[in-house]
Amino acid sequence: MPMSDSTIVEEIRAVMTAKSNALVRRSAADITALLHPDFLVVTAGGKPISRADYIDVAITGSLIYHGQEVRQIEARLFGTTAVATLLLDDHFTLDGREIIETYHALFIFTFTGGRWLWAGGQAMKPRAPVVEAP
């Protein structure tokens, strides 16, 4: 089990990089191996989805990933659970429409069987910065 914040961040980055690669390759087997069986995430559109839903949409459905970069990861360890905030730079096509967007995410990982699994979380589009009048 990792002990330092920097080690946790690097291990979470490795899971997210493997997830991104699986999305681009559309590999159901690879993405399934990275997701906790009870996976639950809330999409940027506010829809809760299970592991089966995620695989259906992101691997076999009309969502086609061209790339995903993970950056600005910060993580905290709570026993065998890690909570991470991060930015995701996504490039995908949905129903024939190309989308390039950055999302803020709060993701939860669990250390199971000697490895980290993505258990869930929520992503959202960043809001435009508020500019205060002088």
Give the structural domain span for 25: 5-124
What was the pLDDT predicted at 41?
A: 96
In a domain, 41, yes or no: yes
Tens digit of each residue's pLDDT (9 = 90 or more) over 74-130: 999 999 999 999 999 999 998 889 999 999 999 999 999 999 999 999 999 876 655
The domain tally of the chain equals: 1
Pick the more confident residue, 133 or 62: 62
In a domain, 132, yes or no: no
Please choose, from the candidates 118, 99, 111, the residue with its C-alpha nearest in 3D space to the C-alpha of residue 34: 118
DSSP type of residue 4: S
In a domain, 130, yes or no: no
In a domain, 31, yes or no: yes
In a domain, 129, yes or no: no
Tens digit of each residue's pLDDT (9 = 90 or more) over 18-74: 999 999 999 999 999 999 999 999 988 889 999 999 999 888 888 899 999 998 999
Residues 6+ away with beta carbon under 8 Å from 50: 39, 40
Q: Using DSSP, state whether 39 is helix, strand or coil.
A: strand
CATH of residue 18: 3.10.450.50
